[in-house]
A and B are shown apart, each in its own frame.
Chain A
């Protein structure tokens, strides 16, 4: 019983982290601030998928998080390349 309640704390922590990252995404004064907040949002989404997979006992969601990790890295590197070259 207490375990079920404490599982909601995991999702609450992740949700508050999501909200603060989205606030930084909305008001970030420069373009790199927005890029790092997008990066953190995707890392949080990986954690969210993993927590969901454990809570509902469905290991297929781990594959989703692997794909998301790869796409996140490529996206951040592409944004950094664009920011340096400005083309």
Chain B
């Protein structure tokens, strides 16, 4: 009985990781890809660690598994947020079907700070020039 439970948890976890991999490959945009990997990948790996803890059924292994799950669930959103912020400032293009971009025109590229008012046209032009630079360097 326990064997089938562990196998079911592992199959579900590895299927979620597979979904994360396919989402990384098929999504049209960096930010959509990031939403696929950060959620599905973390949940799948966390399920597999939980299955391993149930399989070994020792106090030391439970401690390690809880530490690993807590670490994964805390650090994955932090890393995804930092990477998404850096990529947006770097001028990575959004998907062409994006219907709303609340940050557009509201940040200064020179200082990387968000502004409540619209940033003047001159600094936006500078922003586009630098993002063109980014396209060439790729």
Contacts and interface: CB of A to CB of B under 8 A. Distances in A.
B21 interface: yes
A52 to B, nearest CB: 10
Nearest to A32: B87
B68 A66 contact: yes
Interface residues of A, number: 49
Given A13-B15, A44-B21, A63-B64, A77 B52 contact: no
A9 B7 CA distance: 10
B124 interface: no
Secondary structure class of chain A's binding surface, majority of residues: helix
Contact of A32 (B17, B24, B25, B30): B30
A10 B61 contact: no
Contacts of A59: 56, 58, 60-61
B92 A30 contact: yes
A83 B86 contact: yes
Interface residues of B, number: 54
Contacts of B68: 46, 62, 65-66, 69
Nearest to A6: B7
26 contacts: A10-B7, A10-B10, A11-B14, A13-B11, A13-B17, A13-B18, A20-B24, A24-B25, A29-B138, A36-B24, A36-B30, A43-B45, A44-B17, A44-B45, A47-B13, A47-B14, A51-B52, A53-B52, A54-B56, A62-B64, A69-B68, A77-B79, A80-B83, A84-B85, A84-B89, A84-B112
Interface of A: 3, 6-7, 9-11, 13-14, 16-21, 23-24, 29-33, 35-37, 39-40, 43-44, 46-47, 50-51, 53-54, 59, 62-63, 65-66, 69-70, 73, 76-77, 79-81, 83-84
Interface of B: 3-4, 6-7, 10-11, 13-15, 17-18, 20-22, 24-25, 30, 33-34, 37, 41-42, 44-45, 48-49, 51-52, 55-56, 58, 60-61, 64-65, 67-68, 71-72, 75-76, 78-80, 82-83, 85-87, 89-90, 92, 112, 138
